[in-house]
Amino acid sequence: MSATAPLAHQERQIAPQAAPAPPRPGKPRRHRPRRPRWPSVVLALVALVMAVPILYVVSLSLRSRDDVLNGGLLPSALFWRNWPDAFRAVDLAHYALNSWAVAAGSVVLTLVIAVPGAYCTARAGRGGARLASLVLSSYCAPPVVAVLPLFFLLRTLDLDNTVTGLALVDGLANVPVAIWLLDGFVRRVPREVEEAAWLDGLGSAATLRRIVLPLIGPGVAAAALICFFLSYNEFLFALSFAQDSGSQTLPVLLSLFQGDKNVEFGQQAVVSLVGIAPVYLLAVAAQRRLVAGLTTGAVK
């Protein structure tokens, strides 16, 4: 017993140990190609160039009138009095509220007309395409040719010098643009979806409201934003149809700072910044929806 014990111990030491299990083959790491930096640099330069006018307006708001007339891009000394003087000179909140009311009302009117109009142009075949071209051609005419007939029309309806009259004019003026934008979205909706709705007993109006309209929601949002910006910045109609300060908008207010002899550049710059700041915030907040809507309807 004592002789076999050392032998067993030696066999245990000599016996080869079990080979370790081979490592499991892992997924190969994918090396992502490095993106070149020059597109970011180009975009930064383009953004800087686009921001130069805004930065110059900021500079004007901090300069006195004599400093502006002396030339230069930067103020020689900061002149903060333009900001309180601009708010004391005019009721800025009233004009801004008029601009927003006109823009919002015109967008509602534009969409009420443009959504059914785009549906008709997209589903009427060749006749619809001709109708869309005819509607869009009316937008190519200079707006000044419509000032006189629209003036007498608003006077007949007793809507001159009113926010409602401006919203009506701007809403009708933006209908061609909205139809042109929404036509591509409606054409992307499959006809089989509408035919299935018709088989279920829906009429044309109900199909447009309950089936087509939700499917073209991004396009409607994009068209609403574009028409809002167009109406908010409109100047000719606001100047022609709103002689009373109670219905004038911000673009008209900006023109009032230009007197016969003196121009209040600093106060005008302050009003410009106050007017464009909410619109810029709205554009930044709705940027994804706007880009998504325009790119969705890009292919007809």
Tokens of 112: 């009420």
Q: For residues 74 and 59, is the Cβ–Cβ distance under 8 A?
A: yes
Is the pLDDT higher at 76 or at 99?
Answer: 99
Within-domain flag for 56: no
Q: Which of 6-10, 274-278, 288-292 has the lowest mean pLDDT?
A: 6-10
Domain that holds residue 216: 82-296
Within-domain flag for 116: yes
CB atoms under 10 Å from CB of 198, counted, come to 14
Answer whether residue 171 shows pLDDT above 90: yes
Q: For residues 135 and 175, is the Cβ–Cβ distance under 8 A?
A: yes
What's the pLDDT band for 259 if we cut at 50, 70, 90?
low
Mean pLDDT, the chain, whole residue set: 83
Answer whether residue 300 shows pLDDT above 50: no
Q: How far apart are the first and last CA of the chain?
A: 96
Tokens of 98: 């008029």
Q: For residues 83 and 269, is the Cβ–Cβ distance under 8 A?
A: no
Tokens of 17: 């140990």
What's the pLDDT band for 124 if we cut at 50, 70, 90?
confident
pLDDT at 261: 61
Q: For residues 186 and 296, is the Cβ–Cβ distance under 8 A?
A: no
pLDDT at 69: 81
CB atoms under 10 Å from CB of 155, counted, come to 13
DSSP symbols for 110-163: HHHHHHHHHHHHHHSTHHHHHHHHHHHHHHTS-GGGGHHHHHHHHHHTT-TTSH
CB atoms under 10 Å from CB of 229, counted, come to 17
Is the pLDDT higher at 44 or at 292?
Answer: 44
pLDDT at 273: 92
Within-domain flag for 171: yes
Q: For residues 291 and 221, is the Cβ–Cβ distance under 8 A?
A: no
Please give the sequence-ordered ranges of beta strands (E in DSSP) within the chain, or none if there are none.
none
Question: What confidence tens digit (pLDDT) does each residue in 179-219 have?
Answer: 988 988 898 888 888 888 888 888 888 888 888 998 898 88
Burial environment of residue 131 by CB neighbours within 10 A (0 to 12, 13 to 18, 19 or more): middle
DSSP conformational letter for 27: P
Tell me how far the alpha carbon of residue 118 is from its chain's centroid: 20
Percent of the chain predicted with pLDDT > 90: 30
Q: In total, how many domains does the chain have?
A: 1
Answer whether residue 246 shows pLDDT above 50: yes
Answer whether residue 7 shows pLDDT above 50: no
Cα separation, 183 vs 121, whole angstroms? 7
Quote the pTM value: 0.80
Cα separation, 212 vs 208, whole angstroms? 5
CATH code of the domain covering residue 148: 1.10.3720.10
Instruction: Give the residue among 224, 225, 231 at the shortest CA–CA distance from 249.
Output: 231
Q: For the chain, what is the largest distance between any 2 Cα atoms, rounded to a whole number of angstroms?
A: 129
Q: For residues 152 and 162, is the Cβ–Cβ distance under 8 A?
A: no
Tokens of 270: 């302050």
